[in-house]
Amino acid sequence: MKKTALALLFVAIGLGSAAANDVIKDAMKKYHKPEDAICKKVGKGEATDADLAELLKCYTAMCAETPGKGDKAKWVEKCQALIGAVKKVQAKDASGVSDFKKAINCKACHDVFKGK
Ligand code: HEC
């Protein structure tokens, strides 16, 4: 079981490409930037189950991509933190929202992974 999960993770990493990234860009435009973006609802504890499922899918896709800048392994770590936090929120774990707020730090991630 564990082996399968690991293998999948490596496949996900292998699929990434080094070019500027539309998947990441679209995820940002849709889920992070708008005033009513899902990520903002999660921070306020207002995201619905459907919102959370959609966000999880988005972060899973992002995790498989390679950002234009920075270290891929660290990127996967950042994305996994987001994924882990969303899963906690889904499970109604009280620490989920605060984990998410830490993981969603825009600047902390942009400084390392966002090209010009
Ligand atoms: C896990 C890392 C990460 C987090 C957290 C993150 N971003 Fe980003 N963001 C990126 C990367 C990487 C890019 C560059 C994508 C590219 O163009 O290849 C980006 C690009 C963007 C862009 C430009 C999109 C475009 O049209 O080119 C916007 C807007 C943006 N992020 C908004 C946000 C906001 C708002 C937050 C916080 C709520 C946030 N991001 C949090 C990684 C992150």
pLDDT in tens, 82-93: 999 999 999 999
- Rounded to 10 degrees, what is the CA torsion of 115, 38, 44, 110? 0
Distance CA 44, CA 40 (A): 6
Report, as an integer, the average pLDDT of 10-22: 57
pLDDT at 14 over 70: no
pLDDT in tens, 31-55: 999 999 999 999 999 999 999 999 9
Q: Whats the size of the chain, residue-wise?
A: 116
Q: Which residues line ligand 1 (CB under 6 A)?
A: 20-21, 24-25, 28-29, 32-33, 39, 67-68, 78-79, 104, 106, 109-110, 113-114
Pocket test for ligand 1, best of 22, 28, 29, 102 (most atoms within 8 A of CB): 28
What is the identity of the amino acid at 42? V
Q: Where is average pLDDT lowest: 6-15, 64-73, 97-106?
A: 6-15
Residue ID of nearest Cα to ligand 1 atom 3: 109
Residue 13 CA to ligand 1 centre (angstroms): 19
